[in-house]
A and B are shown apart, each in its own frame.
Chain A
């Protein structure tokens, strides 16, 4: 899987003349569309940054695109007055998302490898059943999973987020597709040398799966970092909240200090945006890969 392999643009070719008018208008038209949507896509974030740097009294005051009057008091409040909340939430989110990114990626790779390479009774039935569970909307399992987690005495603890998340159909499916397309030569050579399945998987296959593992890890991290509905249902005490849940709760409890909400929301979006800018190719490539294979 090549990283950041954005295909070159279509070569310029000579067409028949009846569409010459199209050639004249298409460039300005496309640039207009692209610039227009760029503005639409980015302005809300830009406004958030600007107004998080303005005092609360100016929450709806122009100028909209410059932080005048400028202040850092909203950010200071996040780390002083509300220091028992925001930093705690961020830590909780980072812990859950980071742990699951590692654990789920590993477990999904293991499962995917078994489906792609090993022969065992029940394989096709299991794989088919996995695909079926992927089609069932999350609302169906929401209530039973809440009851199961409640029975396990995990409610209101981060374990309620971790235990059901250690593996998932999407990741296993993605890794299965990856291993099906991976050449077998290295593994066959190792097998002739008498290596067992676990040696082959952990010593040879895992190291060469880095691009796919990183893609899945990033997806997992993003998903868990932003997750809302499941944490909302299983967590109750503010000190156990993840950042999205905390932000939503904070908005309800302290709706009069909306500037602090805006500043606090930066603690959620900036880390994930940094991650995205650093590993863009893995994100977009991953979407394209998993998307197209399923379609």
Chain B
């Protein structure tokens, strides 16, 4: 009897401790996801109640030009460029910082500075730097209209985002490199391994989970890029920087008739794309049996 009362007390204590999170979880996560799924099957403009349209929104996306010809290819291009470039640069910087180098902490601090700055401030700064008369053109001796040209606008936003996120990735890689026990290298040295063999058979395999994590974070972040686009180009010029995440905002919150249902459908397509890409890269990076 005593034991049972004690156990009941533990159950109650657990749910009391969890109650604030459970409120957020149930209302803003579980209910919200279910609600979004329902909305994605409806036509809903905020003014009249949602009207069931079945798969209508999803079928509409299959023939919408803005979605198919602009948002999807722009997002995929963006992910395909930004993720590899920021991963390679941050890995290189982490390798360089993992050596016998003076001022290591100083360098690490500098590299991390862009990561604590708000995306809006970063966008405002680069919006000004990339003006046709701006500092970047003057320093490089160019007169490119970076953000108002359909050719250069998306690459410019790619550059800004690579610049902004490389520091975070570098910190994660550096921690991963420093977690590899020195004894592994010492043992390999006694066995007569050379530097290339150590990199190939110790560093890279042991870093593989970290690489997977960094790439996953990069993919998720890039698929959702929004702030920089909103501030710097608002999806233009000629929709050349309209990404999927921006399109959701545009359809739900910026059009004169809000398309809440259609935007919800796009959100689920986005979630599906992120899932697929994550699974694919997991297969590619975490090849078992190679370690």
Contact = CB atoms under 8 A, between A and B. Distances in A.
A and B, one complex? yes
Interface of A: 6-7, 9-16, 18-19, 22, 26-27, 30-31, 33-34, 37-38, 40-42, 44-45, 47-48, 51, 59-60, 62, 64, 107-108, 110-111, 113-115, 118-121, 123, 126, 129-130, 133, 135-148, 164-169, 172, 196-198, 201, 222, 225-226, 228-229, 232-233, 243-245, 247-248, 251, 258, 261-262, 265, 268-269, 272-273, 275-277, 280, 283-284, 287-288, 291-292, 294-295
A9 to B, nearest CB: 5
A64 B135 contact: yes
Contacts of B163: 40-41, 44
Given A148-B28, A273-B117, A137 B126 contact: no
A277 B106 CA distance: 11
B152 interface: no
Contact of B172 (A120, A138, A291): A291
Interface in B227-245: 227, 230-231, 245
Q: Which of B128, B167, B268, B274 has the most CB of A within 10 A?
A: B128
Interface stretch (B60-68, B76-84, B96-104): B96-104
B284 interface: no
B189 A114 contact: no
Given A60-B131, A137-B220, A139-B224, A265 B96 contact: no
Interface in B219-273: 220, 223-224, 226-227, 230-231, 245, 248-249, 252-253, 260, 263-264, 266-268, 270-271
Contact of A273 (B25, B113, B179, B274): B113
Given A9-B99, A111-B17, 14 more contacts: A13-B189, A33-B93, A37-B89, A40-B163, A108-B21, A126-B25, A133-B30, A136-B271, A139-B224, A143-B267, A222-B116, A248-B124, A262-B125, A287-B172
Nearest to A261: B124
Nearest to A166: B20
Nearest to A281: B105
Contact of A292 (B10, B179, B220): B179
Given A141-B32, A143-B267, A292-B172, A41 B114 contact: yes
B194 to A, nearest CB: 5
Nearest to B95: A30
A284 B171 contact: yes
A51 B124 CA distance: 13
A118 B12 CA distance: 10
A34 B101 contact: yes
A contact patch SS: helix
Contact of B117 (A10, A33, A62, A272): A272
Contact of A42 (B25, B110, B178): B110
Q: Which of A42, A136, A222 has the most CB of B within 10 A?
A: A136
A137 B270 contact: yes
**The 10 residue pairs across chains A and B that have the minimum distance between CB atoms:** A295-B213, A288-B175, A226-B118, A197-B13, A120-B14, A107-B20, A244-B120, A144-B35, A144-B32, A167-B21
Contact of A265 (B124, B166, B216): B124
B39 A143 contact: yes
18 contacts: A10-B98, A10-B100, A13-B189, A51-B128, A60-B134, A64-B138, A115-B18, A137-B223, A141-B28, A145-B28, A168-B24, A229-B227, A232-B230, A262-B124, A272-B117, A273-B116, A280-B112, A295-B210
A269 B117 contact: yes
Interface string B11-51: 10111111011111101111111011001000000000000
A9 B101 contact: yes
Interface residues of B, number: 114
Given A110-B18, A292-B210, A164 B28 contact: yes
Interface in B174-203: 174-176, 178-179, 182, 185-186, 189, 192, 194-196
Nearest to A18: B194
A273 B117 CA distance: 7
B55 interface: no
A230 B256 CA distance: 20
Contact of B113 (A42, A145, A197): A42
Contact of A133 (B29, B114, B189, B194): B29
B287 to A, nearest CB: 16
Given A167-B23, A265-B124, A269-B117, A119 B33 contact: no
Contacts of A145: 28, 32
Given A38-B110, A169-B25, A197 B118 contact: no
B281 interface: no
